[in-house]
Structure 1
Amino acid sequence: MVDELSLRLVPDALWEIVAPLIPPFVARPQGGGSAPADDRAVFTAIVYVLTSGCAWRHLPPSFGVTVPTAHRRFSAWVRDRVFEKLHREVLDQLGSAGELDWTAAILDAASVRAKKGGSLTGPSPVDRGKKGSKIHVLSETNGIPLVVGVSGANTHDSTMLQPMVAALPATKSRRGPRRRKPGKLRADKGYDYDMHRRWLRERGIVPRIARRGIERNDRLGRYRWKIERTIAWLTGYRRMTIRYERRGEHFAGFLHLAAALTCFKKLPT
């Protein structure tokens, strides 16, 4: 049963992508010590925590990884940007297969409560001022997440437009050079500022940002509903619905892993 669960969480095709990204084990200079835990078992345990939302201390022993080892390895992999690299690697595979539509990109954000506070948090304007974080997502036309980020819940959405677009990765394409520039950028009224429109036009991106007091509300979701679906995909990983990590980079690590797993599900079989 455990083997079936592990294979469902981390199938062979996914592990083939992950394995080259894992930093090699470095033995202690003085020698000795216990044998290192299996990398795949550790990665599977981390995916289980992300998927189930369980606390680290409730990690089932059946994965063959102790709680301190799993958390220590997770922290090290966040520091080494393993989950960001995984996200980009899967995007490259999607691009090579012609599965990324660069006709337009879509930008949106969602707030989550931060139970224990910590870095990258702030008083949430939608949760009576309680500590929270905000998840920012930039997807391609069909909702595949290209860039994800975390900020305090009191961060205005508009301040993240330029950093998110600037962070677009140069992704492989089926033919020709790598691509990182969408034809258009779609966003809601929270990003309605002329400086952003000018900034986008200077970079050859056509702004399609809803205008406050002009565009009808019943038409605002005509194209942008896909980014809301993407955020629902990401928060479907239960660890993303409420932030328990005190360190913002750890929550961001889980977010990058969730984005990578979401992209992996879109790979052609």
Structure 2
Amino acid sequence: ARFDLIAVVNAIHYKLQSGCRWRLLPIAHVFRGEGPSCIAVFHQYRKWCQKEEWQKIYSRILSQDKSKLDLSISHIDGSHTPVYRGGEKSEYQGRKKRCTTNALFFSDNKGIPLVMSGPQSGNSSEGRCEGKEWESRGERTPYKK
């Protein structure tokens, strides 16, 4: 089934602004009735990101409505996401039990996301996660003595 792309963009924007999980998107509210599944919205977002289309789309939306942005106060926030298979941008952090990857978000006073960083490594100097938890191999994690 085909759905209105504006509604898909609104669903993605809602997710980015609220920080909710993809599976918790209020599809009935965003689409005013029947809409695509949260998985379909995620796949569309991922496809646009891989082709670098999402950045172009969102930049165009922000530039057209920049008078509605409230930059009197801005907010920066971070997200630590557990990584189960490792990867270039994953590391242990001293206070985290699992290997994580991090992202930083910058938004205006209304909570409208303006910029998001790419994945960032953790701040630990103990080395990268290799896809398995150290504890599962019988080793001590870097934060335990």
TM-score by length of 2: 0.50
Aligned match of 2:23: 57
Distance 1:59 1:91 in 2: 22
Unaligned runs of 5+ in 2: 68-75, 107-113, 126-145
Structure 1 pair 38–91 and aligned structure 2 pair: CA distance change class (3 A): closer
Residue 81 in structure 1 maps to residue 52 in structure 2:
yes
Task: Indicate conservation of the 8 Å contact 1:134/1:150, yes or no.
Answer: yes
Task: Indicate conservation of the 8 Å contact 1:111/1:132, yes or no.
Answer: no
TM-score by length of 1: 0.30
Aligned match of 1:150: 119
Aligned match of 1:169: none
Task: Indicate conservation of the 8 Å contact 2:82/2:101, yes or no.
Answer: no
How far apart are residue 44 of structure 1 and its match? 1.0
Aligned match of 1:124: 93
Match of 2:117, SS state, is strand
* Mapping of residues 7-156 of structure 1, within 5 Å: 34=1, 36-62=2-28, 63=31, 64-86=35-57, 88-89=59-60, 112-118=79-85, 119=87, 120-125=89-94, 127-128=95-96, 130-135=98-103, 148-154=117-123
How far apart are residue 87 of structure 1 and its match? 5.3
How far apart are residue 152 of structure 1 and its match? 1.4
> Which one has a bigger Cα radius of gyration?
1
Distance 2:19 2:115 in 1: 24
Distance 2:51 2:96 in 1: 36
Match of 2:119, SS state, is strand
Code of the residue aligned with 1:80 in structure 2: it is K
Q: Map Cα deviations across residues 3-54 of structure 1 (whole Å, 9 max, x no partner).
A: xxxxxxxxxxxxxxxxxxxxxxxxxxxxxxx4x2110111111112222232
Code of the residue aligned with 1:149 in structure 2: it is G
Distance 2:122 2:53 in 1: 25
How far apart are residue 77 of structure 1 and its match? 1.0
Match of 1:122, SS state, is coil
How far apart are residue 79 of structure 1 and its match? 1.2
Q: Map Cα deviations across residues 96-152 of structure 1 (whole Å, 9 max, x no partner).
A: x9xxxxxxxxxxx97632134454321124x246322233689xxxxxx67833221
Tell me the percent identity: 22
Unaligned runs of 5+ in 1: 1-33, 98-108, 139-144, 157-269
Distance 1:40 1:135 in 2: 26
Distance 1:147 1:68 in 2: 21
Task: Indicate conservation of the 8 Å contact 1:134/1:155, yes or no.
Answer: no
Task: Indicate conservation of the 8 Å contact 1:112/1:132, yes or no.
Answer: no
Distance 2:36 2:97 in 1: 38
Structure 1 pair 132–72 and aligned structure 2 pair: CA distance change class (3 A): same
Match of 1:37, SS state, is coil
Code of the residue aligned with 1:153 in structure 2: it is G
Code of the residue aligned with 1:148 in structure 2: it is S
Match of 1:149, SS state, is coil
Higher helix residue share: 1
